[in-house]
């Protein structure tokens, strides 16, 4: 018992001692009023890009910027001071267009060395593609590498200065007609006199339709004094004699392409190695125009008219109905017949085919073939509104502008109407839709403007396409706007001046305006095509004098044929 009490006293002493020691400590903690010190901020582990601009325009590495001037200022701001010793090795600046040549540049530092400003030492080139980058070799003064690259791809603007001296509008139109005419005159085939299909293909390939446009261009050239009447007569007689005596004919029609020396058919495509009725109609339009122009009583002009009539009367337009169908067919082959089987239907560039078929003295078609075949019983009517312009005929957006050029090289649309359309409205509004589409530029292509417009069929990079508001791949063809002068004189003249004065160093050459270009893709054709060069000469002349319209529509057969189809116009 004594031992137990002794142990209890010891236990109490221990408890008392713990209480004496702990209580003051606890009381001290409770009465302390000082807040705990804040934790130190963590040291920054990144050196990052804060902003990146070129000429105050923000950019990302996934986009290409267009229209940048020739002295751009690239400004990159970072989250920390830059180690200047690392800048030169981290920056890359080169001209991709010119074989990746380096761009000399200067660097300045701003914002306490946290911002780089890079400018070229001299002006860089217009319409060139440039690549600028800053790699992760760039470091901050604390030795940290920048966390991500800076990459910039940009294309400089076109040179806005004039490339040629300014001349009067009349002199400029003379120049464009005369220079373009050289395609048919100097580059015409030396044996047949026919127009070569294009400047960048075998020179033996000549084109029927393009040669018809060329004949009309020759008539315009005589009127403008570029060549003499005798020179023109001789060249057209060479063409007519070749067609009459050498070129094969298929029920009176010609092939699309042929050899300019032998006349042998050059197939246009599979089973297309015989007649092309549409191309034949372009040729006949040109020849009838020449027949009306060379109206003198002397033997040479009399012979030319007689030979043209032989060719004209020989075309069996009605045979191309395929045994009496109410539509004309485009092609026929001596080897595969009507295998191509493409009906000639509107609205498109083939109105002239039906007009001439109805006008034929001995192979005419009735109005029902026009109504059912070309007009598709009214299915070619559109009448929708695009950009504020009602479109009487054709596909959505109007289609390529050659729809309003080829047939109307000879047919005057002014005051022309039938059951389906007012053709003054059709030609004008289709052009204005095309123009307004390019100005509004819904796809954002670089270069499109009220001075740079015109979508039609043309060469493009690595190919050919029929450009239109529904098939816009960034390519402008000068023939589209220039050949529309009779419909949109103000808009077309503005484009013509831009093409010549501003882009002349890129697209003006030996035979006038080259076929097409894309400022978006930095591509400029080196080609000229007969079917694009011819309309420019002819439609400029129709705008200036109405010469080709007056000649073609003076043909008695054409008046009769158009009246038969239900057309009405002051000249009928």
Nearest to 511 by CA among 33, 147, 183: 183
Given this model, what pLDDT does residue 5 score? Answer: 42
Give the span between the Cα atoms of 534 and 528, in whole angstroms. 10
Residue 29: pLDDT band with limits 50, 70, 90: very low
Interval 382-410: pLDDT, tens = 999 999 999 999 999 999 999 999 999 99
Find residue 104's DSSP bridge partners: none
Residue 263: pLDDT band with limits 50, 70, 90: very high
Interval 519-554: pLDDT, tens = 999 999 999 999 999 999 999 999 999 999 999 999
Q: Is the pLDDT score of 43 beyond 90?
A: no
Tokens of 342: 């493409």
Nearest to 198 by CA among 530, 555, 536: 530
Q: What stretch of H or E contains 109?
A: strand 105-110
Given this model, what pLDDT does residue 147 score? Answer: 95
Q: Is 39 helix (H, G, I), strand (E, B) or coil?
A: coil
Q: Is 528 helix (H, G, I), strand (E, B) or coil?
A: coil
> How many helices, marked H, and strands, marked E, lie in the chain?
16, 23
Burial class (CB in 10 A: 0-12, 13-18, 19+), 470: middle
Give the span between the Cα atoms of 251 and 261, in whole angstroms. 22
If phi over 0 gives left and psi between -120 and 50 gives alpha, with beta otherwise, what is residue 429? alpha
Give the span between the Cα atoms of 217 and 511, in whole angstroms. 13
Given this model, what pLDDT does residue 34 score? Answer: 52
Domains of the chain: 49-156 (2.60.40.1220), 169-564 (1.50.10.140)
Burial class (CB in 10 A: 0-12, 13-18, 19+), 420: buried
Give the span between the Cα atoms of 59 and 97, in whole angstroms. 21
Q: Is the pLDDT score of 10 beyond 60?
A: no
Give the gyration radius of the chain's Cα atoms: 38
Enter the pTM of the model.
Answer: 0.90
Residue 138: pLDDT band with limits 50, 70, 90: very high
CB 124 within 8 A of CB 95: yes
Residue 42: pLDDT band with limits 50, 70, 90: very low
Share of the chain above pLDDT 70, in %: 92
Residue 11: pLDDT band with limits 50, 70, 90: very low
524: Cβ–Cβ under 8 A, 6 or more apart, which residues?
506, 507, 514, 517
Interval 153-210: pLDDT, tens = 999 999 999 999 999 999 999 999 999 999 999 999 999 999 999 999 999 999 999 9
CB 288 within 8 A of CB 280: no
Residue 36: pLDDT band with limits 50, 70, 90: low
Q: Where do runs of H (alpha helix) occur along 164-224?
A: 169-185, 208-224
Query: What are the phi and psi torsion angles at 367 (to 5°)?
Result: -60, -30
Q: Is the pLDDT score of 1 beyond 50?
A: no
């Amino acid at each position: 018992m004594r031992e137990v009490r002794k142990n209890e006293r010891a236990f109490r002493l221990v408890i008392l001692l713990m209480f004496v020691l702990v209580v003051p400590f606890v009381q001290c903690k409770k009465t302390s009023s000082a807040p705990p010190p804040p934790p130190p901020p963590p040291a920054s582990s990144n050196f990052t890009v804060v902003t990146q601009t070129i000429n105050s325009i923000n950019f990302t590495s996934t986009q290409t910027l267009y229209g940048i001037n020739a002295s751009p200022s690239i400004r990159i701001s970072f989250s920390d001071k830059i180690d200047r010793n690392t800048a030169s090795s981290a920056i890359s600046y080169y001209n991709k267009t010119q074989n990746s040549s380096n761009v000399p540049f200067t660097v300045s530092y701003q914002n306490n060395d946290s911002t780089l400003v890079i400018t070229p030492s001299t002006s860089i080139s217009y319409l060139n593609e440039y690549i600028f980058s800053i790699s992760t070799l760039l470091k901050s003064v604390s030795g940290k590498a920048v966390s991500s690259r800076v990459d910039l791809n940009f294309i400089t603007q076109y040179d806005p200065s004039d490339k040629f001296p300014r001349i009067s509008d009349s002199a400029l139109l003379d120049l464009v007609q005369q220079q373009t005419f050289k395609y048919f005159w100097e580059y015409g085939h030396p044996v047949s006199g026919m127009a070569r299909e294009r400047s960048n293909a075998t020179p033996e390939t000549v084109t029927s339709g393009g040669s018809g446009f060329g004949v009309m261009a020759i008539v315009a050239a005589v009127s403008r004094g570029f060549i003499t009447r005798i020179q023109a007569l001789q060249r057209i007689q060479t063409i007519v004699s070749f067609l009459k005596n050498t070129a094969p004919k298929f029920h009176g029609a010609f092939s699309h392409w042929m050899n300019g020396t032998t006349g042998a058919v050059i197939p246009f495509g599979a089973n297309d190695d015989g007649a092309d009725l549409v191309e034949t109609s372009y040729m006949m339009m040109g020849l009838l125009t020449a027949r009306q122009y060379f109206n003198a009583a002397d033997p040479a002009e009399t012979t030319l008219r007689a030979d043209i009539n032989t060719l004209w009367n020989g075309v069996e337009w009605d045979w191309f109905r395929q045994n009496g169908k109410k539509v004309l067919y485009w092609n026929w082959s001596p080897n595969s017949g009507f295998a191509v089987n493409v009906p000639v239907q509107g609205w498109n560039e083939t109105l002239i085919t039906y007009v001439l078929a109805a006008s034929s003295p001995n192979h005419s078609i009735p109005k029902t073939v026009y109504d059912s075949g070309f007009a598709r019983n009214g299915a070619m009517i559109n009448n929708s509104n695009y950009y504020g312009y009602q479109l009487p005929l054709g596909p959505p957006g109007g289609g390529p502008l050659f729809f309003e050029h080829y047939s109307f090289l000879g047919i005057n649309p002014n005051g022309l109407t039938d059951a389906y359309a007012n053709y003054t409205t059709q030609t004008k509004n289709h052009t204005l839709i095309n123009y307004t589409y390019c100005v509004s530029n819904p796809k954002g292509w670089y270069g499109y403007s009220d001075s740079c417009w015109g979508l039609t069929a043309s060469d493009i990079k690595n190919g050919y396409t029929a450009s239109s508001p529904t098939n816009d791949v960034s390519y402008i063809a000068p023939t589209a706007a220039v050949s529309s002068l009779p419909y949109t004189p103000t808009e077309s003249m503005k484009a013509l001046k831009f093409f010549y004065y501003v882009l002349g160093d890129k697209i003006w050459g030996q035979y006038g305006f080259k076929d097409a270009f894309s400022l978006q893709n930095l591509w400029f054709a080196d080609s000229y095509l007969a079917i694009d060069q011819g309309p420019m000469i002819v439609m400029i002349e129709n705008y200036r004098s109405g010469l080709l319209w007056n000649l073609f529509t003076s043909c008695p057969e054409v008046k009769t044929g158009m009246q038969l189809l239900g057309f009405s116009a002051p000249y009928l």
